[in-house]
Amino acid sequence: MARGSALGLTSLLLTAFVFGLIAAGSDASPNYNEALAKALLFFEGQRSGRLPANQQIRWRDHSGLSDGSLEHVDLTGGYYDAGDNVKFNFPMAYTTTMLSWGALEYGKKMGPQLKNAQVAIRWATDYLLKCATATPGRLYVGVGDPNSDHKCWERPEDMDTVRSVYFVSPSNPGSDVAGETAAALAAASIVFRKADPKYSRLLLKTARNVMEFAIKYRGAYSDSLGSAACPFYCSYSGYKDELLWGAAWLFRATNEVYYYNFIKSLGANDGPDIFSWDNKYAGAYVLLSRRSILAKDTNFDQYKQQAEAFMCRILPNSPYSSTQYTKGGLMYKLPASNLQYVTSITYLLSTYGKYMRAKQLTFNCGNSVVSSRDLRFLAKRQVDYILGMNPLKMSYMVGYGSNFPRKIHHRGSSLPSKASHPQGIGCDGGFQPFYYSGSPNPNVLTGAIVGGPNQDDGYSDDRSDYSHSEPATYINAALVGPLAYLSTTSA
């Protein structure tokens, strides 16, 4: 057990958040079970392809049924990433990895929602398998021209923009998107190991092949795809983090020394203070630290140290903190869609705190001792803020609570459904009178978590302010685990 100042960070955290807690009021904890169910239901609203008979979000309908046809392959299915109608595999694969990690760490706490989590994961992995196996030597990484799509405001069911198909190959590599795809397939293979062993084996076999491709043909997919990737989902952090992340997941799935040796060859020298669909270093460190903490394997101690250094950069009042917080207590990383960073980092806080709690460990940030309770307190504070314990008393999850965003930046939600408006709505047809309308969206995208408030805890509920009002699959995916954790655990 680490030694240090008798003053733990808990009291410092309480001091740091006293204003935020007062501003948010003294409401009882949110209903985490309800929030968990809605966070998973959201994924139904993002589905592409032919929808099943048991679809609960009824205002959505079949879409993208010819995806892949331009390359004579079947690339139907998967998810639209956010409020648009494009399938970007890079963030979709990250979404899948985080959903899978949540199911692995917290599945026993999910109750009936575990099945819904598996359904959400499988909707993505069925598509990712197609992308990885349809054509030898190619990994398909996206469907839909993002530049033409973003000029339109139309329902996914009405899409008339070109459904361009994008892929990486030995001559146009994409180690980042391939590494993340391998991570997603490997993580999901563990999720389905008992529930569907045959499917699990297929996922793992494909993950191995995709990872081999990522390692053998190195390069950033942003360089290969250009404007199809940037500025939408550029790989700003490069591809080394995805190689580490993919190999870490394959090591977790296989326990094979090959992946361990590859991980060691990459080193662990990066000191991130963020975790997201783009930058996976911190996630890899926490994932690998599990082996050090729970299995007491000293070969992985360096990743435990890196994970703890990351936590010291996140915790308020840590001497190494590089993380801002709003007056209301929300972690604030970047102006555009800040909640994507909050939910992903919150996942790491709760999960590393869970590992620490299992072995009653602490660590030091300078002279302050950090306990598992410190990490779990901060994680709970972030979740509670998102669910309405904030200065505006606004839930940033659509359909949760009485006060939530009504005018989210989302085509399907903001346009009338086919049932109520069977006539097609063309590329330009959705702007007037729908996009520019001051009225609430006609369709409630239950469970969607939007980009969130600004650094002053303000939120304008403006459909055109996409950096704050647009939901995304990767925002939700990362919060599923912490919600499950909090549903049965006191912080």
Mean pLDDT of 180-200: 98
The per-residue pLDDT for 23 is 40
Mean pLDDT of 184-198: 98
Mean pLDDT of 216-221: 97
pLDDT (tens digit per residue) in 6-33: 344 544 444 444 334 434 444 578 999 9
Whether the per-residue pLDDT at 206 is higher than 90: the answer is yes
This model's pTM is above 0.85:
yes
pLDDT above 70 coverage of the chain, percent: 94
Determine whether 409 is an active site residue.
yes
Residue ranges of domains in the chain? 55-235
The per-residue pLDDT for 16 is 45
Walk across the sheet containing 139-143 and list its strands.
87-88, 139-143, 165-168
Mean pLDDT of 254-271: 93
pLDDT (tens digit per residue) in 367-379: 999 999 999 999 9
Question: How far, rounded to the nearest angstrom, does the alpha carbon of residue 197 sit from its chain's CA centroid?
Answer: 26
The rounded distance, in Å, linking the Cα atoms of 278 and 280 is 6
Determine whether 461 is an active site residue.
yes
The per-residue pLDDT for 410 is 98
pLDDT (tens digit per residue) in 33-52: 999 999 999 999 999 999 99
List the CATH code of the domain at 55-235.
Answer: 1.50.10.10
Mean pLDDT of 183-206: 98
Looking at 409, 410, 457, 468, which residue is catalytic? 409
The rounded distance, in Å, linking the Cα atoms of 58 and 435 is 21
The per-residue pLDDT for 29 is 85
pLDDT (tens digit per residue) in 474-487: 999 999 999 999 99
The per-residue pLDDT for 26 is 43
Whether the per-residue pLDDT at 1 is higher than 70: the answer is no
pLDDT (tens digit per residue) in 394-429: 999 999 999 999 999 999 999 999 999 999 999 999
The per-residue pLDDT for 28 is 72
The per-residue pLDDT for 11 is 44
Mean pLDDT of 461-465: 97
The per-residue pLDDT for 274 is 97
The rounded distance, in Å, linking the Cα atoms of 323 and 37 is 30
Determine whether 374 is an active site residue.
no
Say how many C-beta atoms besides its own lie within 10 A of residue 323's C-beta.
18
